Amino acid sequence: MTYMHIGKNFTPPDVEAKVTGAARYTEDFRRDGMVFARLLTSPLPSGRVVSIDASEALAMEGVLGVFTADDLPPSLPPANPALAKDFITYIGQPILAVAAESDLIAENAIEKIKIVFERRPFVTDPLDTLLEGGPDPYPTGNTLIRNAAAGAAAAGTTASGTDVGRIKWSLDQVTAFRNGREPVGATFGEEWAYGDVAAEFAQCKTIVEEPFVTIGYPHHSLEPRSGMAFWENGKCYFHGSLQSHTVGHAQLSAMLEIDPANLVFINENTGGGFGSKIFPYPIMAVTGKFARKLNRPLQMRITREEEFYIGSARSGMQGWLKVGLKDDGKVGAVDVIIINDAGSGGGGSAGSSAEHISLMYQPTAMRFRGVALYTNTTPRGAQRGPGQNEMASVLAPIMDKAAREGGFDRLAMRRANAPRPDAKFGPRQGGLSSSYMPEAIEKAAAMFRWDERVAQPKVTANNKVRGIGLGMGFHSAGANGYDGLLRIATDGKIYLHTGVGNLGTYSYAGVLRAAAEALQCSWENCVVVHGNSDLNLPHSTYQGGSNTMFTETRSSHVAALDAIRKLKEIAAADLGGAADDYSVGGERVFLTSDQAKGLTFAEAAQKAIDLGGEYSGQVYPEDINATTKRSVEAMKGTGLIGVAKDTLPKQGTAPGFAIAFVEIEMDLDTGKYDITDYTAVAECGTVVHPQGLSQAMNGGGVWGIGMAGYERHVYDPQNGLPANVGLYQSKPPTYLDVPAQMLTAGMDMPDPQSPVGARGIGEPAQGCGAAALMSAISDALDGHLFNRTPVTPDMIVNHVAQNGFNTGELKTNTF
C-alpha cells in the first residue's frame, strides 16, 4: 500500500531541542520560592524505625521541614511505600525527606538526624528464604499472595490488595533444585499446563534438562526520579518524569488525593524509563505532598545512587528446564520451573517467561510452575521485555544444545518451530493478530548468510575462536480501547493531541502520523500537542509493553475518521450534496466530482465553531474516558474536534517479534570477545518510521548485549549491601563494547488489525540480541552452557582453564 506518511522518515518535533540541549527535564524547572528536598535512606536491609529525632536538623538555619511516613497514608506489605517506617526491606529505602532553602543545606541537615532502628533478619538469595527455616525478607513471609477480595496490586505502587505469605521447601527440595534437578513435591505459587506433558516427552527423541540463572539488574534511567511540585489555587502543578502521560495522570491524582481536574502534570521529555516509569512511582507522593505541607514549590532531587535503590530493577530467575525434541525437530514438550527474585517488592515475570517458550517454540504440551520470592534487595518491576527477554537469553543456548543433540541445524530447528499465524500459546492457548515470524527468520538468516557462516572454520587465530548464534524475541505489542483527539483550528492547522509519554523513542509523534495519513494532510501543517495536561490531552495508552505503535495508531486513526466525517458533513451542509460526495486532502474538504468546490480546513473549522454541538466539542461520545471528556470540554468551541474511542476489532495478541544473528570472535586467553556481526530483523507489521525502527533495534540490541555479558545485581549476603550502585560499577556496555555497525531491517508486512498495519517492537529488540549473543558464546565454546546471564570474562577464563571455579549452583545476586 502506498502511504503519504506511513513508512516515511520525518523529523519529530523535539529532535532539535534534544540535540542542542534545549530540551528541559524535571530538574531544569525552577519556581520562585522553590525549596529543595533530599532523602534519608535506610542503612539496613531489614528492620523498622523505632524513633526519629530531627530536632537538630530542624533547628538549622534554612531547614524548613521533615516529611516522614507519618505524613502519608498507611502502607502495608508488600506494597512499596514511599517512605518506610515499620517495614524496612532494603538498603537505600527512603525513610524521610528533609526540605531546606538549598540542596546543600538539606544534605547537611540529613546528617543531623538521629534514627533508632530495630534490625530484622534479611536475605539476598531467593533460595535462601525458600529453605525451611531460612530467613524471611518480611516478618510475615517471603512471597506475595493475592487478596482476592481487594484485587491485585500494581507492581511498584502503594496499592493494596495483596499480602505477604510464606512458601518453603525442604532441604532436599532446595538442594535438588540448586543442583539442577526437579524439586519433587515442591510447592509453587503459580502453575499452568496444557497438553499431556508426560505423553509428549515419551515421544521425544531428544530430551535436555538444564538449570539456569538470570540475575536482575537496575534500570538506571539516566533521568532519575526527581520531581518538582507547587500548589496554586487548589491545583497541583507537578513536573515529573514518566513514560506515560495521561494514564499516569489519574494515578498521580489518586496518589496526591486530589481530583484529576486539579492536577497539572508536566512532562515534555523523559530521560529513560525502560518500564520503570510506566506508572507513577511512590516517591512522587512525597514530592507533591511535601510541597503542599510546606506551601512552597519543592524540588525533590533523586541522586544517581538513590535512583539505583528506588529506580526499580529487572527480576532475576533461578530455574530448571526440561525440553523434548521430536524426530522432526519440533518441540514436543516443555517443563519449566522458575523462581523469581522479586526484590523487596514488585514481583516477577515468570509467567511471561514461560509464555515466551510456549509461543516461540510451540511445544505440543507444556507445564510451568513458579514462585516469586521477595528478597531484601531493591524493588523489582517491569524492565524491557520483563520475563520474555531474560528467558530468551538463557533459553537460546539450551535450545541450541537440544538441536545439536537431536542432529538438527540450530536455524532449522527454529524454523520448524516458528510461530505461524495460527499459533497458540500460553495456558489459555490464545492466538495472534498475525505472524510473519517464519518469513522474518528466513530474511534474517539470508542477511546474515547463516549457511555460509556455519561452514566456516571455528579457529580464527591463536587462541581465538568464532561463535555464531541466533536468538528470538517476543513481546505482546498492542492494546486497544484508548481515545484519539485532534482539533482543526481556524488557522488551518491540525492539532494532534496525545497523552502518550515522550521517552525519546519518538513514537509519541510517530503514532500521530496515522491521523495525518487518514486526513491526507501535510505533516508540516500538523502540530503535536503533548507533555502537559493543561494542553487538553486524551486518554492515551500506558507507554510500555511495546504497545504504543499498535494502540495509538488505532486511536489516532479513529479520531481522524471522526474529524473526516464531520468535515464532510459540514461541507455537505454548506455546499450541498451528501457527505459521502466529499473527500478530504490537502487541508481541504472538497466535492469528489469537482475538487474546486470545497472548504479549507480553516473555513471548515470556523463553520464547526458556528455549528457547535459535536462539531466543535460541545457534545462528545459517551464512551470516551473521563480524561478525554475533560479535555474536550476545555477545547469546545475552538475548532473542529475529532474525538473517538478506539472500538476497532481486535482479536488475539498483537505480537512484536524480532530475530537476531550474532557472530563473535572470542579470545580464549582473556575471556573477551568482539561482536563481529550483528544482524536483526523486526517483525512488527508495517514500518511506520524507518529511522525510529532502526534506533529501536539498535538500542534494544545494545541492551541485549548488556544483559548477556555485563549487567547484574551484586549483593553481599553478609550485610545486604549492593556492590554496584554506580553506573561505572553496573557496567552497561559502552560504545567500544558493541559493534560499530549493526545491521537491522523490518519485515514491513501489515497486521490486519491495525489501520496502518503497525505493531510495536521495543522489547523484542533486546531479547533477540541477548539470546543471539548467549547462543554465540556457547557456540564459540563448543556448546558449553553457562546457563547464566550475564556471562563475564572471568567465567570464560575459568571455563577454558578448567579450574573448576565457575559458579555451579543456582546462586544469584553475586559474581
Partner 1 sequence: MPSNDNMPEMSLYQPVQVEDAISLAGTLAERGWLVGGGQDTYGWIKDRAKRPEALIDLNGIESMRGISETADGIEIGALVTLTELANNALVKERYSLLSSAAGRVASPQIRNIGTLGGNVAQDVRCWYYRRGLNCYRAGGNLCYADTPEGQNREHALFGASRCVAVSPSDTAPALVALEAQMVIRNASGERVVAAEDFFIGPDVDIRHTTVLRAGDVLTAVRIPAKWANAEFYFEKVADRNVWDFALVSISAAMKVTNGTIEESRMVAGAVECTPRRLTSVEQAIQGRARNQETADAVASLASQGAKPLNYNHFKMPLMDNLVKRALTV
Contact residues for partner 1 (CB under 8 A)?
Answer: 39-43, 91-92, 103-104, 107-108, 110-111, 303-306, 309, 462, 669-672, 710, 714-719, 721, 723-724, 728-729, 731, 733-737, 792-795, 797-798, 800-801, 803, 805, 814-815
Alpha helices in 179-329 (DSSP H): 197-202, 246-256, 283-294, 304-310
CB of 668 to partner 1, least distance (A): 8
Q: At 666, is the secondary structure helix, strand, or coil?
A: strand
CB of 254 to partner 1, least distance (A): 28
Residue 570 C-alpha cell reads as 459540514
Q: Which is nearer to partner 1, 93 or 173 (CB)?
A: 93
* CA 314/CA 214 separation, integer angstroms: 10
CB of 45 to partner 1, least distance (A): 11
Q: Which is nearer to partner 1, 409 or 737 (CB)?
A: 737
* CA 604/CA 408 separation, integer angstroms: 65
CB of 309 to partner 1, least distance (A): 8
Q: Which is nearer to partner 1, 303 or 532 (CB)?
A: 303
* CA 535/CA 239 separation, integer angstroms: 14
CB of 121 to partner 1, least distance (A): 15
Q: Which is nearer to partner 1, 13 or 793 (CB)?
A: 793
Q: Which is nearer to partner 1, 179 or 670 (CB)?
A: 670
Q: Which is nearer to partner 1, 107 or 442 (CB)?
A: 107
Closest by CA position to 178, among listed 355, 337, 367: 337
CB of 723 to partner 1, least distance (A): 5
| Residue 163 DSSP symbol | E
| Residue 70 DSSP symbol | G
Helix axes 690-709, 388-406, angle to 10 degrees: 70
CB of 355 to partner 1, least distance (A): 32
Closest by CA position to 278, among listed 351, 352, 386, 371: 386
Residue owning grid cell 491521523: 515
* CA 761/CA 437 separation, integer angstroms: 13
Phi and psi angles of residue 299, each rounded to the nearest 5 degrees, phi first: -105, 120
Q: Which residues contact 690 (CB under 8 A, 6 or more apart)?
A: 7, 8, 9, 746
CB of 384 to partner 1, least distance (A): 20
Q: Which is nearer to partner 1, 52 or 266 (CB)?
A: 52
CB of 308 to partner 1, least distance (A): 9
* CA 787/CA 736 separation, integer angstroms: 26
Q: Which is nearer to partner 1, 40 or 659 (CB)?
A: 40
CB of 735 to partner 1, least distance (A): 7
CB of 795 to partner 1, least distance (A): 8
* CA 108/CA 111 separation, integer angstroms: 6
Q: Which is nearer to partner 1, 711 or 751 (CB)?
A: 711
Helices (H) and strands (E) in the chain, counts: 23, 31
CB of 766 to partner 1, least distance (A): 18
Question: Is the peptide bond prior to 790 cis by the omega test (within 30 degrees of 0)?
Answer: yes
* CA 263/CA 241 separation, integer angstroms: 15
Q: Which is nearer to partner 1, 509 or 668 (CB)?
A: 668
* CA 381/CA 282 separation, integer angstroms: 13
Q: Which is nearer to partner 1, 93 or 638 (CB)?
A: 93
Q: Which is nearer to partner 1, 237 or 678 (CB)?
A: 678
Q: Which residues contact 455 (CB under 8 A, 6 or more apart)?
A: none
Q: Which is nearer to partner 1, 745 or 774 (CB)?
A: 774
Q: Which is nearer to partner 1, 9 or 51 (CB)?
A: 51
Q: Which residues contact 106 (CB under 8 A, 6 or more apart)?
A: 36, 37, 38, 63, 98, 99, 100
Helix axes 626-635, 246-256, angle to 10 degrees: 100
Q: Which is nearer to partner 1, 70 or 111 (CB)?
A: 111
CB of 285 to partner 1, least distance (A): 19
CB of 513 to partner 1, least distance (A): 37
Strand order in 743-746's β-sheet? 459-461, 464-476, 655-667, 673-683, 743-746
DSSP E strands in 362-505: the ranges are 365-373, 459-461, 464-476, 483-488, 494-497
Residue 632 C-alpha cell reads as 474536550
Q: Report the Cα–Cα distance between both ends of the chain, in Å, rounded.
A: 52
Residue owning grid cell 524491557: 384
Closest by CA position to 427, among listed 486, 352, 535: 352
CB of 145 to partner 1, least distance (A): 30
Q: Which is nearer to partner 1, 10 or 703 (CB)?
A: 703
Q: Which is nearer to partner 1, 233 or 803 (CB)?
A: 803
CB of 300 to partner 1, least distance (A): 13
Q: Which residues of 49-79 are buried (b: 16+ CB within 10 A; e: fewer)?
A: beebebeebeeeeebbbbbbbebbeebebbb
Q: Which is nearer to partner 1, 249 or 713 (CB)?
A: 713
406-411's contacts with Cβ under 8 Å and 24+ in sequence apart are 406/205, 406/206, 406/325, 406/329, 408/325, 408/329, 409/454, 410/469, 410/470, 410/775, 411/441, 411/445, 411/450, 411/454, 411/470
CB of 38 to partner 1, least distance (A): 8
Cα angle for residues 322, 323, 328 (degrees, 5° grid): 160
CB of 555 to partner 1, least distance (A): 41
